[in-house]
Structure 1
Amino acid sequence: MSDRFAGEISVIDWTNLPEVILGNIFRHLPTVDRLSIGTVCVAWENAANRPEVWECFDFSEKDVDEFGNDLDLLRSELFFSDFDGSIQEAIIDTYISVIKQFGRSFRQVNVLFKGRNSNRILYTLSDCCCNITHLSLQRLPQNVQVVRNHDSSYRQAVYNIIQRNTKLDELIVRDIDNYADSQQKCPLPLGASHSCAIKALTIIQSFQSCNLGNFMYLVNLHELALEPHFLSYSLLHHLAGKSLRVLHILAVSKHMEFYNEALQDWQWREIKKQGPKLCVHCLFRVSHEWTEKDIILKKEIPMKCLKYAKYHLLNYPVLTGLVCNYSATLVDFIDFSPYQKSYELAQGKRSDQPQINSCILQIVVSCPLLRTLAVKEVLYSQNVLFMLSVNKNLDILLREDQIEYSEFNSHLIHPMSYEEYDLVCRSWINMENFEFAILQLTNRLWYFFKEGSEIYESFVKKHLKYL
């Protein structure tokens, strides 16, 4: 800095920034902030009306209904305005005016809807938007009374939005079906017009009664997430031969259908021949017993990630042999529960603890590509050290109360140097020795898994995003 400016305090005058620069700043703000930012001054109003500011659009009916969130500023502005009706209706009107004005500029759209107010948003989106590339539509859970008086008029709007936006690159549709009306036959709103665009598709608890033949058009589909009862040999064989590389099998909600086709090993072998680079990720949340048996866990599945997010404990004596079948492909094995009681239940099963520890060690020894291990069970400190001596790149995610500082004897111990074996055998005694041994074995610090921590948040975001 030159002497002429030394000691001076520089003040940035936002009103003098060019509109294009303000617009590039505003485009990164949440939608609720962009709704009201134009009221600050004329320059900001002009910048907020630039098309690039509105490439991303988010709407949540939950935020509209509830106070104490980011919409409070907009509520305060509308409260002193001259309008008829409720604050909620005024907020919906504000969203609708933005959609009508900038809908053709929308590229990424995320909508959480539940009631009739959302229907106005959905139908306006279907009328005004035709250039969306990323679309996420999810119906929020409703109370029993609302479900009994179910309003399915949003369906047509959802279909219209998907059908009209033929440039979709990613489509996520969740929970738009209700058990009461899932038998209603509706066409799948995908077709030849979407064939070259869609590369990622997620359909969960939606289009339950649709014929999935329209999926055959999606010749550039790279990633697909479906519930188990949607899977079919002909569909996967066809898509694997085109561009499908990642398949997510998601049992995340209860419904009457069973895994209806139960693909056989020979069918998975043929699918792998068609798509040798195909990887399968399974996520099971519900307590169907077949999620822990070879009904679905066939030996020939190219399993990369196997994840459980159940309340109850896994049957490791049955499951372990199946998991070890994926020794050439398995990267993540995760048994996680968002409920504290699940971990308390595991702590109470002391009689099974030696057997379960042996099973988990067997999984680690048998799967050399394994990089992430998360379980609900209590593990012996010496067993954890054995696992890290076998696989030094393994991330073991455990809570502090899941470690029992104790010896562990197993015939599955992998061959190791005398120095490592001696280190493991004398370092299980307490936390200090345990953490020092891990540092020596892996050259990494040990961290426990704590809810709310950065490790916890990144883990949930990466592995449990479909929940």
Structure 2
Amino acid sequence: MKRMKGAEEGSNNSPSNSPSEACKKIRKQTSDETTAVVASESADCDWARLPQELLLHIFQYLPLLDRAYASQVCRGWNQAFHMPELWRCFEFELNQPASSYLKATHPDLIKQIIKRHSNHLQYVSFKVDSSTESAEAACDILSQLVNCSLKTLGLISTARPSFMEVPKSHFISALTVVFVNSKSLSSLKIDDTPVDDPSLKVLVANNSDTLKLLKMSSCPHVSPAGILCVADQCHGLRELALNYHLLSDELLLALSSERHVHLEHLRIDVVSENPGQHFHTIKKSSWDAMVRHSPKFNLVMYFFLYEDEFGPFFNDEIPVTHLYFGRSVSKEVLGRVGLHCPRLVELVVCANGLRPLDEELIRIAKHCTQLSAIGLGECEVSCSAFVEFVKMCGRRLSQLSIMEEVLIPDHKYSLDEIHWEVSKHLGRVWFPDMMPTW
């Protein structure tokens, strides 16, 4: 009995039959079974039979080149590659290897798109480098879109001169093809191009009921009369961007007429091509008419002027909401901004010089009661004045981008102390920027 009991106990305590070993066997068996099931499912899975809706969703996330490679896997994937939904939005990248490091859309793919998908294109942009060859290639493609019905068109030059070097007749002819055949354009961005008044008339004649956004800064062949033609007939226009030389009292009054819709965004680029250039003055009464007609419209102004060219600006009240100074601007001009821009929401000053802007900043905080975003680059402001500015603006400052070099320590605050004081008035943690964020 003892021998049998001992043998039984020895059997129960042997390593091969311990509880831990039993668990290991169970886990190994389960693992083997799972591996077998996965292998079986993988063998049964046919990627070629994925639903086209799922393939379409996957293809939309693939870069164009990878999408083209995927289309060569099987017939089903090739059919998905040519589904119309994939070609509604497309960007033609036309860059010359000798003058650009950017990739270009392969010529064979462009031919295939024009042949099979030109009637599917709806949201199209052309991105070209500074070479004339790239701009001409874009014009050639535009002239072939006779079956298209575009909703948006953007011509983007990554560097000048690009489209401006193309013969004007060639460019206008190509653009007219789109204007005539689309008839449903809602957004048109044609900055830095030789577009002219007659071509705008063609645009209006065919797309007046649908055009909502027209962006055409730096278009020297367009006159105020051409813009008036658009403003008078495109009653759905909501956003307009143009150069200051096209802006006039007559245009503002036209945009403010009862029969015209309420404009939501007006962007004006004030650019000096040559030092000492003369700029005209817009009457306060014209701006007032615009505000009465469209009280909530945003007036965005980009200034790229030399200091002695600001004479015509900010002498009277102007309803600007977003103001950007791309070149150095004097204390005097910034002082006038504080007095005459009561609707100001955002202010960016890239450079000023070495004269502190304490008084000007306090004036802006006092009079611009809607200011919620400010950025200062190569300027100088004492730490005390900056804290006072933040205190006056309060927590409405949602964007505060100030370079560390801008802040000058004084008897009240050092650079190590200022971020605590500013954070307290903002209601959130704040530090000065090491690099500009605008």
Q: Into which bin does the TM-score normalised by the smaller protein fall?
A: 0.7 to 0.9
| Aligned mates of 2:293, 2:142 — CA distance in 1 | 39
Name the CA distance, whole Å, in 2 between partners of 1:166 and 1:31. Answer: 28
TM-score, structure 2 normalization: 0.77
Partner of 2:420: 436
| Deviation string, structure 1 residues 77-96 (Cα, Å, up to 9, x no partner) | xxxxxxxxxxxxxx224213
Partner of 1:411: none
Question: Given the superposition, is the C-alpha separation of residues 65 and 170 from structure 1 closer, same or farther in structure 2, using an over 3 Å criterion?
Answer: farther
Give distance in 1, aligned partners of 2:276 and 2:219.
Answer: 13
Q: Which residue of 2 aligns with 1:170?
A: 187
- Are 1:404 and 2:408 an aligned pair? yes
Q: Aligned residue pairs: how many?
A: 389
| Partner in structure 2 of residue 446 of structure 1 | 430
Q: Using the alignment, how far apart are the partners of 1:318 and 1:68 within structure 2?
A: 40
The residue that corresponds to 2:349 in the other structure is 335
- Supply the AA of the counterpart residue of 1:176: T
- Looking at structure 2, the residues matched to 67 and 318 of structure 1 have their Cα atoms a distance apart, in angstroms, of 39
Q: Contact between 2:409 and 2:415, CA under 8 Å: does it hold in 1?
A: yes
The residue number in structure 1 matching 2:115 is 100
Letter in 1 for 2:154: S
d(CA) in 2 for partners of 1:270, 1:41:
63
Alignment of 1:45-194 (within 5 A): 45-62=78-95, 69=102, 91-113=106-128, 114-116=131-133, 118-128=135-145, 129-139=147-157, 141=159, 151-152=167-168, 153-177=170-194, 187-188=199-200, 189-194=202-207
Amino acid paired to 1:278: F
- Determine the C-alpha separation between the residues in 2 that align with 1:118 and 1:201: 20
The answer to whether the Cα contact below 8 Å between 1:201 and 1:224 also exists between their aligned partners in 2 is: yes
- My pick for the range that moved more, 49-58 or 253-262, is 253-262
Aligned 1:445-464 pairs, distance under 5 A:
445-451=429-435, 456=437, 460=438
Aligned partners of 1:301, 1:65: CA distance in 2, in Å?
Answer: 47
Mapping for residues 4-403 of structure 1, pairs under 5 Å = 14-62=47-95, 69=102, 91-113=106-128, 114-116=131-133, 118-128=135-145, 129-139=147-157, 141=159, 151-152=167-168, 153-177=170-194, 187-188=199-200, 189-206=202-219, 208-210=221-223, 211-212=225-226, 213-215=228-230, 216-241=232-257, 242-243=260-261, 244-252=263-271, 254=273, 262-287=281-306, 289-290=308-309, 292-293=310-311, 295-297=312-314, 299-310=316-327, 313-327=328-342, 329-336=343-350, 346=353, 349=354, 352-353=355-356, 356-376=357-377, 377-392=379-394, 393-394=396-397, 395-403=399-407
Pairwise CA distance, 1:66: 6.2
Query: Contact conserved, 1:27 with 1:55, CA < 8 A, in 2?
Result: no
Looking at structure 2, the residues matched to 67 and 139 of structure 1 have their Cα atoms a distance apart, in angstroms, of 12
Instruction: Provide the rounded CA distance (Å) in 1 between the counterparts of 2:55 and 2:34.
Output: 29
**Distance (Å, rounded) in 1 between the aligned partners of 2:326 and 2:275:** 20
Deviation at 1:104, TM superposition (A): 1.3
Helix, strand or coil for the counterpart of 1:276? coil
Residue 420 of structure 1 corresponds to none
Pair 1:285–1:382, CA change in 2 (3 A): same
Judge conservation of contact 1:222–1:246 (CA < 8 Å) in 2.
Answer: yes
Q: Distance in 1 between matches of 2:160 and 2:185?
A: 29
Structure 1: distance between partners of 2:75 and 2:272:
49
Asked if structure 1 preserves the Cα contact closer than 8 Å seen for 2:249 and 2:283, the reply is no
Q: How far, CA to CA, are the matches of 2:86 and 2:192 in structure 1?
A: 30
- Say which one has the larger Rg: 2
How far apart are residue 279 of structure 1 and its match?
2.8
**Contact 2:179–2:206 under 8 Å retained in 1:** no
8 Å contact from structure 1 (residues 269, 300) kept in 2: no
Query: After superposition, what is the alpha-carbon deviation per residue over 1:236-258, rounded to whole angstroms, capped at 9, x for unaligned?
Result: 22223422121111124627996
RMSD of aligned alpha carbons? 3.4
Q: Taking structure 1 as reference, are residues 373 and 185 closer, same or farther at Cα in structure 2, changes over 3 Å only?
A: closer
Q: 1:187 to 1:66 in 2, by over 3 A?
A: closer
Q: TM-score, normalised by structure 1?
A: 0.73
Instruction: Point out where structure 2 has 5 or more consecutive residues left out of the alignment.
Output: 1-29
| Alignment-mate amino acid for residue 332 of structure 1 | E
Judge conservation of contact 1:221–1:239 (CA < 8 Å) in 2. Answer: no
CA positional deviation for 1:370: 0.5
8 Å CA contact 1:237, 1:274 repeated in 2:
no
- CA separation of 1:37 and 1:155: change in aligned 2, threshold 3 A: farther
Q: 1:150 to 1:98 in 2, by over 3 A?
A: closer
Question: What is the one-letter code of the residue matched to 1:320?
Answer: G
Give the residue type in structure 2 aligned to 1:17: L
Instruction: Look up the SS of the partner of 1:375 in the other structure.
Output: strand
Cα distance, 1:16 vs structure 2: 3.5
Shift of 1:315: 0.8
Does the 8 Å contact 2:55/2:77 carry over to 1?
A: yes
Deviation, 1:282, is 0.6
Partners of 2:188 and 2:276 lie apart in 1 by 24
- Measured against aligned partners, the alpha-carbon deviations of 1:77-123 in whole angstroms (never above 9, x if no partner) come to xxxxxxxxxxxxxx224213212211111111111234345434433
Note the C-alpha offset of 1:194.
1.5
| Closer, same or farther: CA 24–272 of 1 in aligned 2, 3 Å | same
Deviation per residue, 1:307-326 (Å, 9 max, x gap): 1112xx21112331243222
C-alpha distance in structure 1 between counterparts of 2:243 and 2:118, whole Å: 32
Give the distance between the partners of 1:105 and 1:272, measured in 2 at CA.
41
